[in-house]
Structure 1
Amino acid sequence: MQWEGISEFVHVAENASFTQASKKMAISTAQVSRQISALENRLNVKLFYRTTRKVSLTEEGRVFYQHCRSVLDGLDAAERAITNLQTTPQGKIKLTASVTYGEQQVLPLVSDFMLQYSEVAVSAYLSNQQIDLVEGGYDLAIRIGKLADSSMMAKKLGTRTSYVCASPEYLEKHGIPHAISELSKHSCLLGTLDYWHFMESGKEKNIRVAGKLRYNSGYSLADAALKGLGIVQLPDYYVQNHLQSGELITLLDSYRVPDEGIWAIYPHNRHLSPKIRLLVDYLAKHLS
């Protein structure tokens, strides 16, 4: 009720005509007149002097017009601001990812994204723990593998391949394993787990492996493999360049597990704002 008649009043004041105001608003002159009369009754004041030839503001009408014009200008500015948010991303994005993948793959792309969209501010926290996005106030998480949390929405960004590999020098000295059962005869470079993932007869298997070396760093495990210390199983981003250069050789390819999904996830009940959608699309384009 408080806004009824305001737009009609401003149009009549600016056009000095009920007829012209009705044309601008694409409504009938009678409707404009009814709204103005209702507004005057509600305010208990006369806003216009009306004659058959002229419409002009009363003193009270001029004061009221100045305030109404200011309010409508503010509404126009608010609408433009929302429109700009839709077209030009701006504001804060809080995201999380695993440490190594975040450092090597995600954050460099986020930095490139920020070069394109200078009004965006990003806060990233890298952790190998499963962080509660809602409790932590996160807009987005980048996660790898199977997703179990049904309260989250997810978009697939790409895939990750895990390779079993070793240096030519190690293989020349110790031989090439042709079946996963032969790994027990080899020095396996261990990470945080005591087993490796394989596919055999169409089923996933966890095979326990052993060796004299254990690091909780993928880079250090890749370095140890390059130096001929043993066989390693690592995701592609640790070893891809070394495989291409021939410094490492892939093994047991027929037992390789299917590629794992790389996902952007976000709370189910949180609206995916334009800036988040743009970032997710940007990551998907470059990580696919």
Structure 2
Amino acid sequence: MPPPPPDASTDAGTETTPESATESSSADRADVQDTLDLRLPDELIALFGATSGPTSGARSGAADAQTDAHGERPAHAGHIGSVTPRPPGRAPAPSAASSADDLLDNVADWGPATTSAGVFQLVPVRIERDLPLISRWMNDPAVAAFWDLAGPDDVTQAHLRDQIDGDGRSVPCLGVLDDTPMSYWEVYRADLDALARHYPARPHDTGLHLLIGGVADRGRGLGTSLLRAVADLVLDHRAACARVIAEPALRNTPSVSAFLSAGFRFAAEVDLPDKRAALMVRDRALRAVL
């Protein structure tokens, strides 16, 4: 978790509805099917004792995987040299997957997906190439309202660097549609994230955060199409993953609507450090019918 606001809202770009007053004491009682699996995944056991990496959801306020615009900042410096500008309309070449990326089954190798809007591909971020573009998106007021990363380039750089230099549980990517970078995504292991403290996580749950960069791409249902495509990529390439997870702000009605249109179901209301979220779940078992 934009025509609701970004993709971080399925077709819009700003929050327009008041937060629901409905209270839920725990995400654990939201769906009887979402029972807690007490078997710890091997990756989590291996991470015990190590310095925790960046969190994509609960630790920093969680980003909205908004379907048509932006999202809310998930939790996750230094100076870089000059960046060679990329010609408009040219997609960045996929970078080689690192061994750490094995936690997500090598996102760089997932390849393209054909959507109603064109051919779409996730391309892992390279800071020296992509920072100016992503930082510009983060300074769009509609995006900044959710991600809280407005400011000089080094603000966005620190957010990206935490993930790229981490243990591979979160992979920041550009979304490239018909050879044009037009969105920013984070694919992360929800079961290894601080978010797992707030819902009954299962091994290999995979989370999504999303923002649509260009104003012209927001508010027309594009986010919904891309959310469905990326969720399908996750399920196609991560055989151990039974569920794709997102946690848009509950008050962000357009974003929640986008997820529902993309085949996710509403599972619970979840209190995260910086927002009350709608836990959205796309189940592998229901993939053919939703």
TM-score range, shorter chain: under 0.3
**Greater RCO between the two (CA within 8 Å, min separation 6)?**
2
Q: TM-score, structure 2 length as denominator?
A: 0.21
Q: Which has the higher helix share?
A: 1
Query: Based on CA coordinates, which of the two structures has the bigger radius of gyration?
Result: 1
Q: Which has the higher strand share?
A: 1
